[in-house]
Structure 1
Amino acid sequence: MELQTERLLLRPWRESDVPALFKYAQNPNVGPIAGWPPHQSEDESREIIRSVLSDSGNFAVILKATNEAIGSIGLMTLRSTIHTASIAEGECELGFWIGEPFWGQGLIPEAVDELLRYAFEELAMRAVWCGYYEGNVKSQRAQEKCGFKYSHTEEQKPVPLLGEVRTEHFTKLTLEEWKKRRKK
């Protein structure tokens, strides 16, 4: 399945995306702030595609102008093995990251808007959760820009891939709030 925006294609990850994934995921400014370590090799990126990013609901963020994978976005449901929010039936959690050269261009909000449309209109979700670790101001701003409202903070939250504990802030957007935003 593929989703499209003006500048982006959201599609399943492919083995051919390994070089692009490694190029952006090896940057220490990208993964750790989102809770995962920088990739150390293309082999590691290949394994991440096979074991994590190939799960249903995960999409490569493809820049249409170059046809290159520049980030990742996904929806995690109760059936997903990875989610940090306490979600209920009819709810999901949205996660994303984008390569540093593309920060500040509005590409993640563009991708998030399309994934929210998909979650609410096609998956019939009642609410979508999102989270960011303390200090990840870019993610916080992207969530606010997309209509997410602060819900709560959890202290001493384990970050298993980094062997740390952090403070995580959670935001939420309900179907009703999303519909109101779309009418504006």
Structure 2
Amino acid sequence: MRGEETLDEDDECLRTRRLFLRPARASDEAAIAHLANDRHIAEMTARIPHPYGLEDARRFLADHGEEHVFAIERRGAPGLIGLAGLTPNQIPGTFELGYWLGRPFWGEGFATEAAQGLIDHAFTGLGAECVEVRCRVVNGGSRRVIQKCGFQYFGTSMDISLAAGRVASETYRMDRRCWQSLKSWGGR
């Protein structure tokens, strides 16, 4: 099934049809700094400043709190193409999904596939009851990823982006029952 993730219990790696998601590590610093140092990517995220350098990548990798951070690679083509993560929310059993891809990797469905893999992992591996995701209202690409994954619109709010300042964003949610329905219908 498209988006189906498998977990390698030994190294906490996720595998989807075309992607390999593994825990991010210090050796990813240069690739993260290179790909994330893109104003458009930074302005569409909450936590990426612009410019973004090697020291920013080092700080992030050294301390990302309780977030489960995965480096995204294409299967059979080693090399980081982006990052994705799941962060525990203040509400027990709820995780927030985040993701970004380097510009050369846009438009190929990789963001949707990575997001689907992490959603599955949240519910099967982390025991999530709900997964939330946010995107800027002007980010049509991310909204399409979110909708393809089956999230339901929850509301609009103002957030802070390190690169863009105060921005309008949309919040989407998926609870366990919705996820189970999507999986049983084969919609993912």
Whole-Å separation in 2 of the counterparts to 1:165 and 1:38 = 15
* Residues 1:147 and 2:150 are matched in the alignment: yes
Query: Deviation of residue 46 (structure 1)?
Result: 2.2
> Which of 140-149 and 4-13 deviates more?
4-13
> What secondary structure, in the 3-state scheme, does the structure 1 residue paired with 2:28 have?
helix
Query: 1:155-175 CA deviation, whole Å, 9 max, x = no partner?
Result: 3x333x247211111000111
Whole-Å separation in 2 of the counterparts to 1:70 and 1:17 = 10
- What is the TM-score with the length of structure 2 in the denominator? 0.84
Which of residues 39, 53, 68 in structure 2 aligns to 1:41?
53
Q: Do the aligned partners of 2:66 and 2:88 also contact (CA within 8 Å) in 1?
A: no
**What is residue 93 of structure 2 aligned with on the other side?**
90
> What secondary structure, in the 3-state scheme, does the structure 1 residue paired with 2:71 have?
strand
- What is the TM-score with the length of structure 1 in the denominator? 0.86
Which amino acid in structure 2 is aligned with residue 46 of structure 1? R
**What is residue 13 of structure 2 aligned with on the other side?**
2
The size of the alignment, in residue pairs, is 173
* Residues 1:158 and 2:170 are matched in the alignment: no
Query: 1:29-87 CA deviation, whole Å, 9 max, x = no partner?
Result: 211111322344323322222223x7541111122232111111111103xxxxxxxx5
Q: Do the aligned partners of 1:39 and 1:45 also contact (CA within 8 Å) in 2?
A: no
**What is residue 7 of structure 2 aligned with on the other side?**
none
Q: Do the aligned partners of 1:74 and 1:95 also contact (CA within 8 Å) in 2?
A: yes
* Residues 1:20 and 2:31 are matched in the alignment: yes
> Which of 26-35 and 93-102 deviates more?
26-35
Which amino acid in structure 1 is aligned with residue 39 of structure 2? P
**What is residue 118 of structure 1 aligned with on the other side?**
121
What's the C-alpha RMSD, in Å, of the aligned pairs?
Answer: 1.7
* Residues 1:71 and 2:74 are matched in the alignment: no
Q: Do the aligned partners of 2:66 and 2:87 also contact (CA within 8 Å) in 1?
A: no
Q: Do the aligned partners of 2:43 and 2:163 also contact (CA within 8 Å) in 1?
A: yes
Percent of aligned positions with the same letter in both sequences? 28
> Which of 31-40 and 13-22 deviates more?
31-40
Q: Do the aligned partners of 1:30 and 1:38 also contact (CA within 8 Å) in 2?
A: no
Query: Deviation of residue 20 (structure 1)?
Result: 1.2
Whole-Å separation in 2 of the counterparts to 1:108 and 1:40 = 21
Which amino acid in structure 1 is aligned with residue 42 of structure 2? G
| Structure 1: tracts of 5 or more residues without a match | 79-86
Q: Do the aligned partners of 2:42 and 2:163 also contact (CA within 8 Å) in 1?
A: no
Query: Deviation of residue 97 (structure 1)?
Result: 0.5
> What secondary structure, in the 3-state scheme, does the structure 1 residue paired with 2:49 have?
coil
